[in-house]
Amino acid sequence: MKLVKILVAASLFVAAANANDVMQKSMSIMEKGMTQIQQGFLNNNLELIKQGTELVKEGNSLFSDKKVISQYLPENKKHMANVAENASKRIALDINVLELNLDTKSYVNAANAYSDMLNACSSCHSIVRNW
């Protein structure tokens, strides 16, 4: 009986640890944000673009520290931590560009900043996933 309780407690702990994983949290927030931005541009819904941008900003800030990023790189890619970190910096910069262009109603340029953000996602994923 005791052993069962310990096992249940241990599995709950593992589940909680996974849910709190900073990478998974960051990625799921950014994924949601990017989806909203895309929907916003496709449907000409400014509010959705702004909401999505806030989400990507939040998610990116969770996964922008080189030490944190490095923990998630495979052993043979640790030396590319700088390049991975640059992808996160590029996202932060694109968010600024996107917001500035929204302010001046330069929607084509804002949409281009969104595309560049998506490329930055892929540029880090390509390192992590050996694409």
Q: Is 23 a residue that touches ligand HEC (CB under 6 A)?
A: yes
Specify the stretch interacting with ligand HEC by CB under 6 A; choose among 2-10, 46-54, 83-91, 101-109.
83-91
Q: How many CB atoms lie within 10 A of CB 124?
A: 22
- The single-letter code of the amino acid at 61 is S
102 lies in the binding site for ligand HEC (CB under 6 A): no
Q: What is the closest distance, in whole angstroms, from the C-beta atom of residue 5 to ligand HEC in the complex?
A: 30
Stretches 6-14, 38-46, 101-109, 123-131: which one binds ligand HEC (CB under 6 A)? 123-131
| Residue 81 near ligand HEC by CB under 6 A | no
Residue from 37, 49, 69, 113 binding ligand HEC (CB under 6 A): 69
Given a contact cutoff of 8 angstroms between Cβ atoms, the answer to whether 39 and 45 are in contact is yes
Least gap, CB of 4 to ligand HEC (angstroms): 30
For ligand HEC, which is the closer residue by CB, 72 or 107? 72
Say how many residues touch ligand HEC, by CB under 6 A: 20
